[in-house]
Amino acid sequence: MNQPVNFSPPEGFSFDVELPAGEGTVFVRIPAGIRRKRRLMLEYVRRLGFPGYFGWNWDAFYDCLCDLSWIEGVKQVILAHEDVPFEEGSDQRETYLRLLADAVQSLKQDPPIRLVVSFPPEHLAEVAEALADSSF
């Protein structure tokens, strides 16, 4: 797949190898090879500590990403993906990436928390393809 010429990643998306992490940063590694929604959500429950009321659907996932109030002292959350979850071209992949992009822009917390979504640089074209029709 060729790298897209006119793709500008949504603010908060990173394709850098090194990510700045300091005090108050929660670093969550999303492992490679996730192809099922339940498995992905289980990773978030385990690694980010989604609260017990989490509903295991996309709406609940988005709500939890936009309200990280259960994590004390956090200033930044980095979601570092080892690859892009779900099969290329799948609706699940597109939904997941769009929800991440929306959450990065919509996170309104007091005090504010910065959400960073990271992918290895070799996955830029895959992310661009999934977000091609989005305007960020």
pLDDT at 5 over 60: no
Q: Are the CB atoms for 110 and 2 separated by under 8 Å?
A: no
* Average pLDDT over every residue of 31-60: 96
**Which strands, in side-by-side order, build the sheet including 13-14?**
13-14, 114-118, 76-81, 25-30
pLDDT at 105 over 80: yes
Please write the tens of the pLDDT for every residue from 14-30: 887 666 677 889 999 99
CATH number of 13-130: 3.30.370.10
The separation between CA 50 and the C-alpha centre of its own chain, rounded to angstroms, equals: 14
> Average model confidence (pLDDT) for the chain?
87
State if pTM tops 0.85: yes
pLDDT at 85 over 70: yes
Please write the tens of the pLDDT for every residue from 51-74: 999 999 999 999 999 988 888 888
Unique residue bearing structure tokens 């992310």: 127
pLDDT at 36 over 60: yes
pLDDT at 3 over 60: no
Q: Are the CB atoms for 26 and 74 separated by under 8 Å?
A: yes
